[in-house]
Chain A
Amino acid sequence: MEQTFGDFLVSNFNQFWHFTGFYNATWQHFVMLAVGLFFIWLAIKKDFEPMLLVPIGFGILIGNIPFNTEAGLEIGIYEEGSVLNILYNGVSAGWYPPLIFLGIGAMTDFSALIANPKLMLIGAAAQFGIFGAYMVALAIGFEPDQAGAIAIIGGADGPTAIFLSSKLAPNLMGAIAVSAYSYMALVPVIQPPIMRLLTTHKERLIKMKPARAVSQNEKIIFPIIGLLLTCFVVPSGLPLLGMLFFGNLLRECGVTTRLAKTASNALTDIVTILLGMTVGASTQATSFLTAETIFIFFLGFMAFIIASASGVCFVKFFNLFLAKDKKINPLIGNAGVSAVPMSARISNNLGLEYDPSNYLLMHAMGPNVAGVIGSAVAAGVLLGFLA
């Protein structure tokens, strides 16, 4: 029977209707779209890590537009050859995070750490958050490799979390990345109560000696020695540590200013946009809205609390062995997690709250950047043991 023109139009409209988002939408898609909008709202209205939450939030919107996955349109992030899939390769193959680390290295001034190297130990102590969360994750029933990937959220370092989860548990990467970045944005909410709880009024008033001036030579030697020492101990941390210290050498050597500027500005911005957007887009409703994701968010929260608490407690313990005039203010202990420079700012603000003349920012930057190194080393250790 010959098809009339009207039938032809109706059948094509019908086919088109089957391709639309309205037809393919499920309630999970709307939940995820709401999550994406919430992230964008947090970033724009509340100013919570806007550089991260805007790309991630919008990425969630992009990744959760419903469409007919069986149509073979090659538009989804997990469909090989699609544009989003090509951009996502930097996340799945793990080469965006080292590029971000290059930028972090080129942006970071390690002077505070070089001037007072013992602050590095605070950065090491705060990594207990990672391994504490690892034990809790095992107790909940995750496999050791999954537990390791989830626990790295405690390092408070988004690129490191993405790098490690892409190697150990690629199926959990979306949830881990979103969790890590969400908690990094919530540092001002999570850390102060822990810091208040674990310190006495007297301890919060400790004034630390101003750091000595660091010479140019020391700044140049630091990335070279830092790379050699840390990577000889943990070669599996090479992609992150190598790029971090390389970026820092570009900054400090004084003869590659243009490269350092590009690494710290244009390159970091480009990779941040791509990383944030693709991570957001990878959180598709079908794979994201599961019980596992809820556990991951819970474990991430635990890891953050343990990390912050262990940093503060370690400073208190360390103070037992220091002379009276060399005591460290435990309010900088939280900065051992590597959320740079947010957690150092929290230390400073809290210090000023109790003594308006007690500026802790530069002191807190020491453990803060040590936390970056520490979390990269911890990621290398987990990769070495569990990959």
Chain B
Amino acid sequence: MKKNIFITLIALIGCAVAVSAQGRSGLKLNEVMVVNESNAIDDFGERHGWIELFNSNHAPMEISSVFITDDPSNPKKYPVPLGDVNTRIPKRQHVIFWADGRPSRGTFHLNFVLKPNQDNWIGVYDANGITLIDSITVPASLEPGMSYARSTDGVGKWEMRNDVGENYITPSSNNIIRAQNDKIQMFKERDENGFALTLMAMCIVFSALLILCLCFLAISKISERFARANKMAAHGVTAETKAKHATDSDSGEVIAAIGLALRDHFEAHDQESTVLTINKVRRSYSPWSSKIYGMRHNPRS
């Protein structure tokens, strides 16, 4: 009983670890604008500073009940409210929070504003208000109309962007604009005839199956040794007697021949024994099955 409880506990702990491993660690601060002069406009037609969050997971993420704050001593400053369907961020997508200090305007309006000409620390805490998921300090040197963004969504270095040339400001969209799949392009340019991919792929396929092959060669050796030891123990054969009598292994032909001989011996019906045996069969009487009750007493002529 105790053993079962222990195993169940371990399984539960394992599940809990697995669940936490797939939690909100994929939520990233992705881009921030402190002073919004001519950039995105909110639902009320106004411009405010904004904070962009990015779901770097390849699965949707629910962010209600996480906390967004600009004060490390007050991690629970703005709780993202429950009950809004828009707080479920699709895989690899973005969401913008307006730093306008007016949370009454909706889920995506924070209860603080970002301060120009000073460092702005921004943190995102998990639902427990203790686990810091991501944080960034936006430097005071960020000029009005510029944003502070990761070079690549969710992972890249932070850099200042001024919306000039390819230095895009990208509220609620990818920080890096891709028109094509980089991997495909790379193979197209550097491996025109496919030889490199073929070489790499065949090496990988061979090594995967070679490892499996070596592993099972070892396992089969160990298994054979165990099987032999068990067989010897079952027949009471010691190591010394084995050296004298035992063969290495039974070949398939030998086993088949023994099997056939046994079958012939026990099951063959070529010659019957020709002995007739008459045994008396006793059947216990029951009025329910008596023939007398099933017959007419006066048969019709």
* Residue positions of A touching B, CB distance < 8 A: 113-115, 117-118, 120-121, 123-125, 127-128, 130-132, 134-135, 137-139, 143-145, 147, 209-212, 214-215, 217-218, 221-222, 225-226, 229-230, 233-234, 370, 373-374, 377-378, 381-382, 385-387
Contacts and interface: CB of A to CB of B under 8 A. Distances in A.
B235 interface: no
13 contacts: A118-B217, A120-B209, A120-B212, A124-B202, A128-B198, A131-B194, A138-B193, A144-B197, A377-B208, A378-B205, A381-B201, A381-B204, A385-B187
Interface stretch (B97-105, B110-118, B248-256): B248-256
A161 B197 CA distance: 18
Contact of B223 (A131, A147, A218): A218
B188 A143 contact: yes
Given A120-B210, A218-B216, 6 more contacts: A124-B210, A135-B198, A138-B192, A221-B219, A373-B212, A378-B201
Nearest to A135: B194
A52 B180 CA distance: 36
Contact of B195 (A118, A135, A370): A135
B163 interface: no
B193 A233 contact: no
B208 A117 contact: no
Contact of B217 (A117, A210, A230, A370): A117
Contacts of B249: 212
Contacts of A233: 204, 207-208, 211
B183 interface: yes
B15 interface: no
Interface in B161-206: 181, 183-184, 187-188, 191-195, 197-198, 200-202, 204-206
B215 interface: yes
Nearest to A151: B194
B223 A215 contact: yes
A125 B203 CA distance: 10
Could you tell me the dominant secondary structure of chain A's interface residues? helix
Contacts of A385: 183, 187, 197, 200-201
B188 A144 contact: yes
The 4 closest A-B pairs by CB, nearest first: A210-B252, A131-B198, A117-B216, A135-B194
Interface in B240-259: 249, 251-253
Nearest to A128: B202
A117 B220 contact: yes
B41 interface: no
A225 B194 contact: no
A121 B201 contact: no
B210 A121 contact: yes
Contact of B212 (A128, A218, A230): A230
B188 A222 contact: no
A128 B214 CA distance: 21
B223 A377 contact: no
B159 interface: no
A134 B209 contact: no
A113 B209 CA distance: 11
B208 A234 contact: yes
A233 B209 CA distance: 10
B227 A118 contact: no
A121 B206 contact: yes
A366 B205 CA distance: 17
Contact of A114 (B205, B209, B220): B220
Given A218-B223, A385-B187, A124 B198 contact: no
Contacts of B193: 135, 138-139
Contact of B198 (A125, A134, A139): A134
A386 B183 contact: yes
Contacts of B208: 124, 229-230, 233-234, 377
Nearest to A139: B193
Most central of B184, B192, B200 by chain A CB within 10 Å: B184
A145 B216 contact: no
B84 interface: no
B224 interface: yes
Contact of B184 (A114, A124, A145): A145
Given A215-B227, A233-B211, A381 B219 contact: no
